[in-house]
Amino acid sequence: MTSGTGVGVVEPQRARFDAPLRLRSGQTLPGFELAYETYGTLNAARSNAILVCHALSGHQHVAGVHADAPNNLGWWDNIVGPGRPLDTDRFFVVGVNNLGGCHGSTGPASLNPATDAPWGRDFPIVTVEDWIEAQARLADRLGVSQWAATIGGSLGGMQAMQWTIEHPGRVRHALVIAAAPKLSAENIAFNEVARQAILSDPDYAAGKRPERGLRLARMLGHITYLSDDQMADKFGRRLRHGEYKYGFGVEFEVESYLRHQGDKFAGWFDADTYLRMTKALDYYDPAAACGGDLAAALAKAEAKFLVVSFTTDWRFSPERSREIVNALVKNHQNVAYAEIESQHGHDSFLMENAHYHRVVANYLANVKT
C-alpha cells in the first residue's frame, strides 16, 4: 500500500498566455490559460522537473487534496509524493489540464473572446502536438528548460512520447505507460461510437448538456478500460436480486456498475471536451509524417525511455507498447521495457501495483536531477 501522507494540501494554479497559438487544425487560439498544480520544489538548477500528462478524462489535479475539498484526492496520488515513485522529496512534479479540457484550462466552457460567449462546440479541435506546445509554454513560464522526465498513461503516454519528438532537447526521460504509437481501427471504432452517442443525443443538438450520450460513452469506455478477466472476477454473472426478474431493470451487478459509472460521469464531464479528447487520440500518429515508419519518427528523440505495458490491457495491449520499444531498439536508442502482470486491464496504469510502482521508482531513482 501507499505509505506516508502524500503531498497533502495543494494549491490550484493558473497561467495565462497571451501569444496566439497556431493549432495543427490550422485554426489559431488567441491566447489561452492553463490550470496546473505542482508538487515538490524546483531545485536551483531547475533540473528536477517531471511533467505528468493526463489521459482522456484526467486533469491537473494529480496528487494531494485541495483545502476546500479534503476528500478529492488527485487521480495519481498513489504514485506521487514523498518516498513514492515520483518522489517529491527529489522531484518537482507538474500536473496540467490540457487545452480543450474542462478543469480550468481554456476549453469549450471558456469564453470565446471573439463573441464573449462560451466556445462550446466552436472550440477548435486540439491535438497531442498542440498540447505539447501549450505545455512547453508552461515549462518556459516555470523556468524549466528541460524536463527531467515526461510521464503519462494511455493518452498521457502519447504526450510523454511526443515531447521527445517535438522538443528533443527538452526531455531527458520519457515514461510511456499503457500507450500505443497510434490507435487501431478498433480503437477508433470505440471512440466513434462514444462520439455518436453524444452527437446524436437530441439534447446536444438543442444546445443542452447531452447526459444520455455522455452516460453511454462512459459505460462503453469502462468496458474497454477493464479486462474480461477482471470483470469476471469482480462481477461474474452475480445477480442484483438473487434471481432473474425478466425486465429491463438491473439484473446483473455489472449492469449496475456501468449505469452508476455512466450516471456519475454524465453529471460533471463536459461533452465538448470528451469529443475533443477522443479526436486527439484518433489523430495521434507520429509515424505518419515519416511514411508510417515509427523508428524514423523517433530517431530525433534524445531522451531515454521507459515503456510499460500491462498483460490484460486490451485497449492498448503489450504488443502496442512493443511497437514503440522495437522502433527505439531499431534506432539503438536507450529504452527499458516492462510488461507488468496485472488483472486490471487498461486501468492498471492508475492502480497500485507493487511491481509496477517498483519499476517506475527504480527507473526514476537513477534519473539525475
Encoded one letter per residue, x for contact with a second copy by CB under 8 A and - for no contact, window 181-220 reads -xxxxx-xxx-xx-xxx-xxxx---------x--xx--xx
Q: How many angstroms separate the CA atoms of 119 and 72, rounded?
A: 28
Encoded one letter per residue, x for contact with a second copy by CB under 8 A and - for no contact, window 125-144 reads x-------------------
Q: How many angstroms separate the CA atoms of 43 and 312, rounded?
A: 39
200 noted as active-site residue: no
Which grid coordinates are listed for 159? Answer: 504526450
Encoded one letter per residue, x for contact with a second copy by CB under 8 A and - for no contact, window 14-43 reads ----------xxxx----------------
Sign of CA dihedral 354, 365, 96, 276: negative
DSSP H or E segment with residue 80 = strand 80-81
When asked if residue 329 is in the footprint of a second copy (CB under 8 A), the reply is no
When asked if residue 234 is in the footprint of a second copy (CB under 8 A), the reply is yes
Site for a second copy in 264-303 (CB under 8 A): 275, 279, 282-283, 285
Minimal distance in Å, beta carbon 163 to a second copy? 21
When asked if residue 262 is in the footprint of a second copy (CB under 8 A), the reply is yes
DSSP H or E segment with residue 87 = strand 86-87
Minimal distance in Å, beta carbon 24 to a second copy? 7
**Site residue total, a second copy (CB under 8 A):** 54
Between vectors from CA 123 to CA 121 and to CA 125, what angle results, nearest 5°?
A: 105
Of 132 and 183, the one with the shorter C-beta distance to a second copy is 183
184 noted as active-site residue: no
**Cβ within 8 Å of residue 265, ≥6 positions away:** 57, 214, 215, 217, 218
* Helix/strand/coil for 159: helix
Which grid coordinates are listed for 226? Answer: 477493464
Q: How many angstroms separate the CA atoms of 334 and 303, rounded?
A: 8
Minimal distance in Å, beta carbon 257 to a second copy? 8
Minimal distance in Å, beta carbon 250 to a second copy? 9
Contact between residue 160 and residue 151 where contact means Cβ atoms under 8 Å apart: yes
140 noted as active-site residue: no
Q: How many angstroms separate the CA atoms of 152 and 161, rounded?
A: 9
Residue numbers at the binding site for a second copy (CB under 8 A): 24-27, 124-125, 182-186, 188-190, 192-193, 195-197, 199-202, 212, 215-216, 219-220, 222-223, 226, 228, 231-232, 234-237, 244, 246-248, 251-252, 254-255, 258-259, 262, 275, 279, 282-283, 285
